[in-house]
Amino acid sequence: MCAERPPVCDYEGSDYQTAFWEQGDRAYEDQVEALALRRLLPKAGKLLLELGAGAGRNTPRYSHFERVVLLDYSRTQLEQAQARLGRGERYVFVAADIYGLPFATGVFDAATMIRVLHHMADPALALRQVQRSLQTGGTFILEYANKQNLKAILRYLAGRQSWNPFSLDAVEFAELNFDFHPRVVKSWLEECGFDIQRTLTVSHFRISLVKRVVPLRLLVWLDGLAQWSGDLWQLTPSVFVRAKAAGELPAEGQGEGALGGLFRCPECGSSGLEEGQGYLSCPGCGRRWSSQDGIYDFRASLA
Ligand SMILES: [Zn+2]
């Protein structure tokens, strides 16, 4: 089954958190994302799935959820998140492929996927997995990179960019880095069983000169005002969408309590994995999945 899955952009061993966020002059991007998340997240919740959690930059923003499951393909990113957040009961760390999510159907009441879709070679396949993991009516907050942004439009019109920002095809500007057209993302969400409720445009002022001369607080405040125009048009490099999982999905997991009820085997789909010493075993196919040092690892089975 794994061999049929699309390629994954793997951050194993990456210093992304330090290089991009902490030394990369991105306080503005970080703060306007935080603002969009505050506006879109439910006020309270039980179990939130953070897809592509990385080193846990956004995780403290989900503090009003009782429990957060951090999922990333890279184990070293999750180790950084553990070091930052601590282990404790509140957090569950899971290394897994987003195309084969190891969760029982309908166990989460919310999910977030921020700065992750732009690494997806098959976004619709990933979104279907997310939809299946959510309860009916569960909230999904998706951020994606918008190819039809003002900078790309101006560059295209000036003849300084070969690709057309208005066309519906994705643009892969680096390997496994895609910008998508808003209309296409909307259609994927709808096809995968989501009802879109709200769209916020984010990072209106992602221009080095502007970030240098305008005080950060003022810039964040201005972006906060402009975010509300997202339901009308989307011309920013980053777009946030709040959608609800529609349809009738029977919840088979127990969400809280036993973690065996949270997971299902990503290979055969059996639920009710049994907890052993350092592993979970699948009652369906007999595969064992590692659970060492506080990280459940579903990327490859032990046996
Ligand atoms: Zn199995």
What residues have CB less than 8 Å from 244, skipping those under 6 apart?
137, 138, 139, 140, 194, 195, 197
Q: How many CB atoms lie within 10 A of CB 117?
A: 21
96 Cα–ligand 1 center, Å: 15
Enter the tokens of residue 288. 């064992």
Confidence grade of residue 256 (pLDDT, cut at 50, 70, 90): very low
Q: What share of the chain is helix, strand, coil (3-state, %, to 5)?
A: 35, 25, 40
274 Cα–ligand 1 center, Å: 11
What residue type is 171 in one-letter code? V
pLDDT of residue 292: 94
287 Cα–ligand 1 center, Å: 6
Instruction: List pLDDT tens digits, range 118-151.
Output: 998 999 999 999 999 999 999 999 999 999 999 9
Q: How many CB atoms lie within 10 A of CB 172?
A: 13
For the chain, the maximum distance between any two Cα atoms, rounded to a whole number of angstroms, is: 62
Residue 225: Cβ-neighbour burial (10 angstroms; 0-12, 13-18, 19+) = exposed
205 Cα–ligand 1 center, Å: 48
Confidence grade of residue 9 (pLDDT, cut at 50, 70, 90): confident
261 Cα–ligand 1 center, Å: 14
Confidence grade of residue 250 (pLDDT, cut at 50, 70, 90): low
Cβ atoms of 241 and 117 within 8 Å: the answer is no
Enter the tokens of residue 170. 């994705």
Cβ atoms of 79 and 40 within 8 Å: the answer is no
163 Cα–ligand 1 center, Å: 44
Of 117, 71, 118, nearest to 91 by C-alpha is 71
264 Cα–ligand 1 center, Å: 8
277 Cα–ligand 1 center, Å: 18
Of 195, 165, 194, 197, nearest to 182 by C-alpha is 165
The C-alpha torsion from 225 through 226 and 230 to 232, rounded to 10°, is: 100
198 Cα–ligand 1 center, Å: 38
296 Cα–ligand 1 center, Å: 15
Helix spans in the chain (H): 16, 27-40, 75-85, 123-133, 150-157, 182-191, 208-213, 216-227
Instruction: List pLDDT tens digits, range 147-185.
Output: 999 999 999 999 999 999 999 999 998 888 899 999 999
Instruction: List pLDDT tens digits, range 79-123.
Output: 999 999 998 889 999 999 999 999 999 999 999 999 999 998 999
pLDDT of residue 3: 47
